[in-house]
């Protein structure tokens, strides 16, 4: 009897141990944090997902100039009575995307394999962290910097992270772009068009530097505040670049991209209208009179690739986004063909007729805003939603 009792105890202990072992197993039918990021292929898949965070044609209207003073359609932003909303889609989606970025970067730090095999994917993650924070900076100025993965186990303090100054945000952006430049490939093949390259990261860094340098030169510290009751403060990291240094590096990076990037203007001689009209509607050989397809386009440095089945565009640019409704300020910003503004160029023909102001101007002005029938008289392109 004692032997039977002892056997039951042993059997019960074994069953409990086995139960613990079974319940601790990772599920075999799904990917978890514990099983992912264990191979280069996992890092590639994770980096591919980050491209979903790029702003496209269906994104918030502010990034299509609806939030500026360049559009004449009555918008909230041009009425002067905008009330700050309680929530913001760009804010929510930005930090949601940043969590994925930070997870990839943190997982790379723990990767035990050959780090050179995942370097390009980690570089891509650093690019997108810069991309997300630059997007947030343009909307909000200084924002909270979150560079770790937030989870249910994170301390409460992280949810109350204060705003960093715009200079601290810019410093992180520039550092991340340096990582992208160092680790992303200099170019990609036809099958990988749209992937971030070191040249793309250089071009984007030049854009950031030019933006911030001109902001600091002409706006200065007016919007900084004290970092507590107003604004995000004026704290600058050590070795923060001067305005002159930022402008100088922006010039050098842009020159490098133009000379060594392999890009060129898509400037073809179309019989009906200039090339820029077809560039944004370029599909296959049947989409334009010259029979050119997407492989002929070497102009886009950073592009969001759409696929009819896997990544359909939010909007049909050719039919629904033609309503530009420019105001006088935006029209006057187009340069003359000698590279000078209309206030300085002898080529400007004045405003006597609609056609006069289009003469000797940047070809994009006609492509964006006008249809030119066979008789040569321009017609303002207001789009189907305005013409009824």
Residue 305: the pLDDT is: 78
Residue 348: the pLDDT is: 96
Q: Where are the domains of the chain?
A: 40-80+87-263+301-320, 264-296, 328-387
Report pTM. Answer: 0.81
Residue 61: the pLDDT is: 47
Distance CA 122, CA 115 (A): 9
Under DSSP, is residue 311 helix (H, G, I), strand (E, B) or coil? strand
Under DSSP, is residue 83 helix (H, G, I), strand (E, B) or coil? coil
CATH number, domain 40-80+87-263+301-320: 1.25.40.390
Distance CA 339, CA 320 (A): 31
Distance CA 171, CA 177 (A): 10
Indicate the helix (H) or strand (E) that contains 371.
Answer: strand 370-371
Can you give the pLDDT of all 388 residues of the chain as single tens digits?
A: 555 555 545 555 555 555 555 555 555 545 556 678 999 999 999 999 999 888 876 544 455 565 667 766 555 565 666 777 788 888 999 999 999 999 999 999 999 999 999 999 999 999 999 999 999 999 899 999 999 998 878 888 888 899 999 999 999 999 999 999 999 999 988 888 889 999 999 999 999 999 999 999 999 999 999 999 999 999 999 999 999 999 999 999 999 999 999 999 888 888 766 787 788 778 888 888 899 988 888 888 998 877 767 666 655 555 444 455 677 888 999 999 999 999 999 999 999 988 899 899 988 887 777 765 555 555 555 443 333 2
Distance CA 248, CA 348 (A): 31
Non-local (6+) Cβ contacts of 294 within 8 A are 282, 283, 284
11, 25, 31 from 22: Cα distances, Å = 16, 5, 18
Residue 33: the pLDDT is: 62
User: Is the dihedral angle over the CA atoms 205, 211, 214, 218 positive or is it negative?
Assistant: negative
Residue 275: the pLDDT is: 80
């Amino acid at each position: 009897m004692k032997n039977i009792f002892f056997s039951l105890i042993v059997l019960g202990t074994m069953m409990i141990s086995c139960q613990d072992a079974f319940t601790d197993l990772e599920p075999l039918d799904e990917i978890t944090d514990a099983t992912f990021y264990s191979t280069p292929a996992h890092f590639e898949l994770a980096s591919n997902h980050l491209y979903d965070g790029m702003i496209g044609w269906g994104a918030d209207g502010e990034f299509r100039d609806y939030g500026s003073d360049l559009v004449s359609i009555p918008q909230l932003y041009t009425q002067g009575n905008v009330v700050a909303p309680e929530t913001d889609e760009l804010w929510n989606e930005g930090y949601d995307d940043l969590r994925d970025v930070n997870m990839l970067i943190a997982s790379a730090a723990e990767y035990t394999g050959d780090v050179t095999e995942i370097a390009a994917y980690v570089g891509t993650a650093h690019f997108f962290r810069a991309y997300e924070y630059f997007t947030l900076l343009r909307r909000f100025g200084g924002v909270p910097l979150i560079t770790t993965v937030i989870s249910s186990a994170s301390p409460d303090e992280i949810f109350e992270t204060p705003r960093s100054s715009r200079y601290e945000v810019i410093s992180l952006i520039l550092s991340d772009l340096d990582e992208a430049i160092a680790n992303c490939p200099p170019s990609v093949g036809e099958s990988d068009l749209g992937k971030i390259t070191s040249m793309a990261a250089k071009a984007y860094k030049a854009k950031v530097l030019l933006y911030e340098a001109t902001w600091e030169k002409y706006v200065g510290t007016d919007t900084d505040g004290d970092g507590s009751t107003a604004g995000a403060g004026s704290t600058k990291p050590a070795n923060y670049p001067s305005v002159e240094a930022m402008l100088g590096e922006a010039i050098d990076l842009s020159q490098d991209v133009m000379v060594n990037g392999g890009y060129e203007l898509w400037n073809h001689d179309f019989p009906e209208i200039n090339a820029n009209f077809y560039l944004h509607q370029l599909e296959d050989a049947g989409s334009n009179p010259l029979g050119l397809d997407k492989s002929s386009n070497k102009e886009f440095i950073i592009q969001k690739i759409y696929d009819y089945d896997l990544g359909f565009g939010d909007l049909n640019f050719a039919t629904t986004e033609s309503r530009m409704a420019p105001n006088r300020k935006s029209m006057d910003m187009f340069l003359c063909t000698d590279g000078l503004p209309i206030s300085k160029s002898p080529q400007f023909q004045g405003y006597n007729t609609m056609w006069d102001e289009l003469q000797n101007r940047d070809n994009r002005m006609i492509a964006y805003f006008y249809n030119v029938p066979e008789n040569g008289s321009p017609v303002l392109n207001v789009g189907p939603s305005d013409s009824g």
